[in-house]
Structure 1
Amino acid sequence: MDKEAALRALAALGQDTRLEVFRLLVKTGAGGLPAGEIAARLGIVQNTMSAHLKVLDHAGLANASREGRTIRYVADMTGFRDLLAYLMEDCCNGAPQLCQPALQAVSCKC
């Protein structure tokens, strides 16, 4: 991941609704959710939700797939992993043992 991509991802997550959407998609897992259901769960108007989902998609944090008339969104865990890797690229100045608490905190416990 380059700096520009990291800035897009961080900007996308720096907005309250988009952060909530991303956390919901991460929680939902590989099955994702239809855009309308995301909007309903978070109490957001669908056209507003659509704009937020496009920002997350453009930032590499969500993937959209069409199922008939429905668009399903899934958290892009590769994009999220790449963002974390970029942020921790030079972690701990060559002392990886210092990074272990951070790595353990973000590891999946499922």
Structure 2
Amino acid sequence: MTAQDAYNAVLREVVAPALRDMGLKGSGKLYRLDDEVCWARLGFQSSVYNTAERAKFTVNLLLVDKGAWTRSREERPHLPETPSANTYYGLLRRPGLVETHRCSHAIGA
């Protein structure tokens, strides 16, 4: 089994069921937890430099106030209706609009 196979297996067999048990919806590498006030997005991003021996990945967490996002979309119509954890939207200047957290890990040697 390659490191990438192990990474995908962990996402599929361990991470996905645990996230769904906590109320998140999604599959593969993107999950969401929505409420009336904000969007919470969780994404898993693989490194383009992964090899059979090593799989490096980043976990992205994005928290967005829905009202602030809607106002930002009025100013920037290219923004999608809902944000994604694995997409960088540039520097949004409104305090509290977007909180992004990243944590990197590696599987293998």
TM-score, length-normalised on structure 1? 0.25
Between structures 1 and 2, the one with greater strand share: 2
TM-score, length-normalised on structure 2? 0.25
Between structures 1 and 2, the one with greater helix share: 1
